[in-house]
Structure 1
Amino acid sequence: MRIRDWDSNLKVRLFGEAAMNITFWMFFPFLAIYFAEAFGKNKAGFLLVFSQIFSVVANLMGGYCADRFGRKRMMVLSAIGQGLSFVVFAFASSPWYQSPWVGFIAFAVAGVFGSFYWPASQAMVADVVEEKHRSQVFAIFYTSINIAVVIGPILGGIFYARYRFELLLIAGIVCIALGFILARWTKETAPVQKAAVLSGGGKWYQFLLNQLKDYSVIVKDRTFLLFIAAGVLAGQTFMQLDLLLPVYIKDVIHNQSLFSFGDWSFKVGGEQAFGIVLAENGFLVALLTVAVTKWMSRYSERNVFVLSSVIYGASLIIFSQTQWIWGLIMGMAVFTFAELMGVGLQQSFVSRIAPDHMRGQYFAASSLRFTLSRTIAPLSIPMTVWIGYNWTYFVLFILALLSAALYWLMFYSAEKKSMKLGA
């Protein structure tokens, strides 16, 4: 499906969100350093975990609100709210006023608004795109994000240290502008609700009770629960890109030659080696997401999901068995291929199994794969002290295989249920 054939909502979002993501990634990778310097590492870590809890709750609430109040309304409010939060953060880091606490609160609030935005944006794609084209559309949006992940930090590395105030202010202005663009040039896509939305005269707790009731329906969806469980196990592998892998590379790569011509050679240490491997991942994702997603759409989802987890596990074994920069580059190519196999198909899978009137909530609940993974995955770092790198990688390999088994069980149980209903 070509971009020119897309619904106008998606065209507006693609280019508007690309600008927002680039500005966001110009400063986001450096905020952990900023908070660590301001509060100390222990307090900064606790505060960032604390802010993540609010984002998780907001993400689930955002799915409910996207289904009840509309995709467009939630996206507009979220974009403007996030923009205003960044403006406050900017002034808390300005030449005239310095307050890390105000900056952190603004950052946490921006994260909450971002969590409200995501379920509505994903549900909108499912609303306006036919099922056979959804994986490709999701893949293009994913590619756009990864292009921002490559471009943003490069620009941020040049400008962040001296122009943090300006970068945060620009990010705020871009987010607010996106909100007004969405308000002006997009239309609502949410299906008409059968039940009336809770009126203003209802009790405040009735809203929360209705929300919990709707999410209880999701919990009873066996297929969806297996999907989340398998995703959490798989997440223990791909979350290591920002956790175990940089620590491992820093420990094993010491002034190795990447290229050599005669007497001249280009040598890299741990940090540089990780930067090269990370750049490889971003480049391959940006370059190949659409092509690999289109290729994978020819095969059954069961085979793709299962094989993706197996290949994730294989990439970890490659990492564990090499202390050579080119071996790590090869391992990252395998790792990235596993990532690309499922990126578009998994979003399309969620959109297909979700009832039309609950898509926002299903997308919000599906994000638990990443939320829970981010909570558990850091345990890999102390594990290297307890059992060493090789055994840590082996444990992660076993978790990847268990993920593959759960994906297989998910499709098996779904097919068995479908056969019974057909009979």
Structure 2
Amino acid sequence: MKFKTWDINLKVRLFGEALLDISFWAVFPFLTIYFSDSIGRQTTSLLLILSQALSVITALLGGYFADTYGRKRMMSISVIGEGAGFLIFAIAATTMFHSPYVAFFGFMVASIFMSFYQPASQAMIADVVKPEHRSHVYSIFYMMINIAVVIGPIIGALVFNNYTSQTLLAIVLADLLLLILLTKFGHETAPMALDKELRKAQREKKIGTVLMEQLRNYKLIFKDKVFFLYIIAGVIISQSFMQLDLLFPLYITEVIGDSSIFSIQLTGEQLFGFIVSINGFCVALLTVFFTRLMSRYREKLVFMNSSFLYGIAILLFGIATGPWGAILAIILFSFAELMTVGIQQNFVAKIAPDNKRAMYFSAAGLRYTFGKVIAPLAITLSTLVGYFATFATIAVLAVISGFIYFYMYSLYEKQDRAK
């Protein structure tokens, strides 16, 4: 599918989201270090758990609102809320106002609104792209994100510590630009939102009725055994890849520390920025290649082996004492991530009914939402049993998720043959 044939929604989003993601990734990888230094490691862990627990509620409603009120509207509301949250963070991070708890409140507001964006965003792609082209389009968006992951942390490593508020304001400006693009060029694609009678009936419902209806709908979704196993495996494996922004920065700054690469001296923070950029570079450069390569193999083997490779990478990271060990681990980590690019969203699109597509994507997003609630516990665990035992535990979980994926796909293939 050529870029010139893409729907205008996708074209403007690719550009706008690229700028937003670059500015976001100049900040996000360093937040664990920022808050740990300001309010302590254990307090940061607990606050991150609280933030993501609140995001679970918005994630539950995100798909419903995107199906009912429209993809474009919910994406616009999400962008406004995210910008407001990071504006609060930016003000709280100034030397004049300096308040780490208000700063965290701003980050929490941004996180909650960000959870509205993805169900609508992914469902919009499914709305306007034919099934045979979806994996390709998803992989392009994923590649764009990882180009941002290359550029953003390099910028952040240079400016975030010294110009925290200014870097956060860059996210606010990027949110504003994306909002303008969505408003001017975007159009609605949700089937229910385009039907005036259905839209009117839905809007007349009270929020309590909506929430109860939503919970009943999710109950029906989770009765789908294949999809339920997909969520469980996703939550477990997320404990591996989410440490890139949680445990990795603390381990690199506290254990590996200042390092030298090709005679270039790097602080722990700069080394971490370099490690994250390697991850982003690998994914950005190899996304299309891996998507095509993995399409030759059975999906259940791809998911299982990806989980096993995550486990190996995490274990290697836990025994790394220098920069080169961390670099080897992050390359393997990146390969594990690349193996499932595209096929994750495409799997959800395959099993989701058309009228509940955003809801399925929203439910699928709970892999990451619940994962984010649990993942910060690794920070607390590391203070109790040490870094190596924590990494080893996460590696074991990764292997378990691989076996769950294998069983899930075996069940799906059996059901598919029975149709």
TM-score (ref. length: structure 2): 0.86
Q: State the one-letter code of the partner of 1:224.
A: F
Counterpart of 1:262?
A: none
CA displacement at 1:340 relative to structure 2: 0.4
Query: How far apart are the structure 2 equivalents of 1:161 and 1:76?
Result: 30
Query: How far apart are the structure 1 equivalents of 2:129 and 2:36?
Result: 43
**1:68-113 CA distance string (max 9 Å, x none):** 1111111122222322343444444557755555544333222222
CA displacement at 1:241 relative to structure 2: 2.9
Counterpart of 2:177?
A: 177
CA displacement at 1:321 relative to structure 2: 5.7
Counterpart of 1:364?
A: 362
Residues 218 and 389 (structure 1), Cα distance of their counterparts in 2 relative to 1, 3 Å cut: same
**1:300-320 CA distance string (max 9 Å, x none):** 212211221122223334445
CA displacement at 1:127 relative to structure 2: 1.1
Query: How far apart are the structure 2 equivalents of 1:368 and 1:173?
Result: 28
Residue 189 of structure 1 aligns to a residue in which SS?
coil
Counterpart of 1:347?
A: 345
CA displacement at 1:278 relative to structure 2: 3.0
CA displacement at 1:252 relative to structure 2: 6.1
Counterpart of 2:127?
A: 127
Residues 390 and 417 (structure 1), Cα distance of their counterparts in 2 relative to 1, 3 Å cut: same
Contact 2:63–2:359, Cα closer than 8 Å, also in 1? yes
Counterpart of 1:290?
A: 288
Counterpart of 2:112?
A: 112
- Return 5+ residue gaps in structure 2 as ranges: none
Q: State the one-letter code of the partner of 1:133.
A: H
Q: State the one-letter code of the partner of 2:218.
A: Y
- Return 5+ residue gaps in structure 1 as ranges: 260-264
Counterpart of 2:243?
A: 240
1:210 paired residue among 189, 209, 213: 213
Counterpart of 1:337?
A: 335
Q: State the one-letter code of the partner of 1:342.
A: T
Q: State the one-letter code of the partner of 2:231.
A: I
Query: How far apart are the structure 1 equivalents of 2:87 and 2:271?
Result: 35
2:371 paired residue among 347, 359, 373: 373
**1:330-357 CA distance string (max 9 Å, x none):** 3322221111000211111111111111
Residues 135 and 388 (structure 1), Cα distance of their counterparts in 2 relative to 1, 3 Å cut: same
- Which range moved further: 281-290 or 230-239? 230-239
Query: How far apart are the structure 2 equivalents of 1:256 and 1:200?
Result: 58
2:198 paired residue among 193, 196, 200: 196
Contact 1:82–1:109, Cα closer than 8 Å, also in 2? yes
Counterpart of 1:405?
A: 403
Residues 34 and 303 (structure 1), Cα distance of their counterparts in 2 relative to 1, 3 Å cut: closer
CA displacement at 1:144 relative to structure 2: 1.5
- Which range moved further: 149-158 or 128-137? 149-158
Query: How far apart are the structure 2 equivalents of 1:47 and 1:28?
Result: 15
Counterpart of 1:144?
A: 144
Q: State the one-letter code of the partner of 2:365.
A: S
Contact 2:158–2:270, Cα closer than 8 Å, also in 1? no
Residues 50 and 222 (structure 1), Cα distance of their counterparts in 2 relative to 1, 3 Å cut: same
Query: How far apart are the structure 1 equivalents of 2:323 and 2:39?
Result: 35
Residues 87 and 137 (structure 1), Cα distance of their counterparts in 2 relative to 1, 3 Å cut: same
- Of structures 1 and 2, the larger Rg is shown by 1
**1:281-317 CA distance string (max 9 Å, x none):** 1221121122211221232212211221122223334
Residue 299 of structure 1 aligns to a residue in which SS?
coil
Aligned length: 416
Contact 1:253–1:269, Cα closer than 8 Å, also in 2? no
Contact 2:52–2:370, Cα closer than 8 Å, also in 1? no
Query: How far apart are the structure 1 equivalents of 2:221 and 2:190?
Result: 19
Residues 300 and 5 (structure 1), Cα distance of their counterparts in 2 relative to 1, 3 Å cut: farther
Residue 10 of structure 1 aligns to a residue in which SS?
helix
CA displacement at 1:45 relative to structure 2: 4.0
CA displacement at 1:398 relative to structure 2: 3.1
- Which range moved further: 50-59 or 372-381? 372-381
Residue 192 of structure 1 aligns to a residue in which SS?
helix
Query: How far apart are the structure 2 equivalents of 1:216 and 1:47?
Result: 29
Contact 2:25–2:148, Cα closer than 8 Å, also in 1? yes
Residue 196 of structure 1 aligns to a residue in which SS?
helix
**1:49-72 CA distance string (max 9 Å, x none):** 322222221122111100111111
Residue 367 of structure 1 aligns to a residue in which SS?
helix
Residue 18 of structure 1 aligns to a residue in which SS?
helix
**1:250-290 CA distance string (max 9 Å, x none):** 6764777644xxxxx55768666544433321221121122
Residues 369 and 299 (structure 1), Cα distance of their counterparts in 2 relative to 1, 3 Å cut: same
Counterpart of 2:311?
A: 313
TM-score (ref. length: structure 1): 0.86
Residues 149 and 174 (structure 1), Cα distance of their counterparts in 2 relative to 1, 3 Å cut: same
What is the alpha-carbon root mean square deviation over aligned residues? 3.1
Contact 1:281–1:333, Cα closer than 8 Å, also in 2? yes
Residues 130 and 417 (structure 1), Cα distance of their counterparts in 2 relative to 1, 3 Å cut: same
Query: How far apart are the structure 1 equivalents of 2:383 and 2:355?
Result: 48
Query: How far apart are the structure 1 equivalents of 2:238 and 2:24?
Result: 24
Contact 1:87–1:173, Cα closer than 8 Å, also in 2? no
Q: State the one-letter code of the partner of 1:213.
A: R
**1:198-247 CA distance string (max 9 Å, x none):** 45543442111211121111111111111111112222322333444455
Query: How far apart are the structure 1 equivalents of 2:253 and 2:41?
Result: 20
Query: How far apart are the structure 2 equivalents of 1:49 and 1:183?
Result: 34
Q: State the one-letter code of the partner of 2:215.
A: L
Contact 1:92–1:99, Cα closer than 8 Å, also in 2? yes
